Amino acid sequence: MIFGEMITGGHYLEVLRLGKQMTTGRAKSPSYMSLHHSFVSETGFFGAFYRGFLPWGLLQCLKGMPVLFVQNETMYQLQARAGWSSSTAEKTSGFVGGAAQAVFVCPLQKIKVSVVACPTTNLLPPLMACEQVIKTYGLGALYDGIVPMMMRRSLDWGIRFTVSSEVKRYMLECKREANKEEKLAMHELIACGLVGGAFSALTHPIDNVITNSQKPMPPGAARDLISVVKLMMKESGTKAFTRGFAIKIVDNAYHMAWMYGVGTVVYDYMRSAFAQG
């Protein structure tokens, strides 16, 4: 699901967002079109569209596994062992799944941010790019921004599943009142995901802190949460926390449409297939 989302534009939406987020200064940041032209001028359209995708973005396609596995397993355990309702368990499990995803994603995101930010790093072979980041900033730098990332991913996925679940519940109630089958089709689940994904963009200020924690800075520069927030305020004021918000809404909605729509259908099919086998 994530692979399909990323190769059809999801990855490039993130590249444009990262470019916007790494802008400093209190003046108006570059437009998405100017960022697009800048990336295309460096590597051509195809190179810009998949900038940082191989292998860092491709490996991040696996990021859905900890979310879906941990989220579904947590939801099952909360229902089976704690006796929670399906709705409450689904909402709570989204927070847990998001935190688990952060641990997996953080090193890959660090290198991808470096590739997007620096044209010379972008031209290096993947292993050399990784080696350069580690050599410059140290091995521990792969987990720069892990604290805000765990906060953001947890809140992000909690909001996604909570809102998507509520929209799903509302749509099922409408079907029940209309005496229709109480089951949502894929396009209806996609609609639930679009709404949930759009609402999760409320965590965007934290996402900007993460990007600024991971972007290239002089070796030895403080990257802890408080220091990064202070630097952002000093360089750009409150604009530092809202840059890229518009494209974040589009990116999150598109991503969640795949995850909650296509992903739910595929997961249910695989579960029933394994149960029968």
Residue range 149-172: average pLDDT? 91
Out of 11-20, 64-73, 130-139, least confident range:
64-73
Structure tokens belonging to residue 239: 């604009």
**Residues 171-198: pLDDT tens digits?**
999 999 988 888 898 899 999 999 999 9
The closest alpha carbon to 64, from 113, 130, 126, 5, belongs to 5
Structure tokens belonging to residue 185: 């089709």
3 or 97, which is more confident: 97
- What is the percent of the chain where pLDDT is above 90? 56
Query: What is the pLDDT at residue 158?
Result: 86
- What is the percent of the chain where pLDDT is above 70? 98
pLDDT exceeds 70 at position 46: yes
Separation of alpha carbons 65 and 104, rounded Å = 10
**Residues 123-153: pLDDT tens digits?**
888 889 999 999 999 999 999 999 999 999 9
Residue range 91-98: average pLDDT? 87
Written as one string, the DSSP assignment of 43-112 is HHHHHHHTTTIIIIIHHGGGGHHHHHHHHHHHHHHHHHTS---HHHHHHHHHHHHHHHHHHHHHHHHHHH
Query: Residue type for 110, please?
Result: K
**Residues 191-234: pLDDT tens digits?**
999 999 999 999 999 999 999 999 999 888 999 999 999 999 99
Residue range 239-252: average pLDDT? 94
Query: What is the pLDDT at residue 64?
Result: 67
Q: Which phi and psi angles does 195 have, rounded to 5°?
A: -70, -45
Residue range 82-108: average pLDDT? 89
Structure tokens belonging to residue 40: 């295309």
Q: Is 114 exposed, middle or buried (0-12, 13-18, 19+ CB in 10 A)?
A: buried
Query: What is the pLDDT at residue 146?
Result: 95
Is the whole model's pTM more than 0.85, yes or no? no
Cis peptide before 30 (omega within 30 of 0): no
Separation of alpha carbons 168 and 256, rounded Å = 13
Return the ∠ at Cα 142 (arms to 99 and 55), rounded to 5°: 90
Query: What is the pLDDT at residue 32?
Result: 92
Query: What is the pLDDT at residue 61?
Result: 75
Give the number of other Cβ atoms within 10 Å of residue 221's Cβ.
Answer: 11
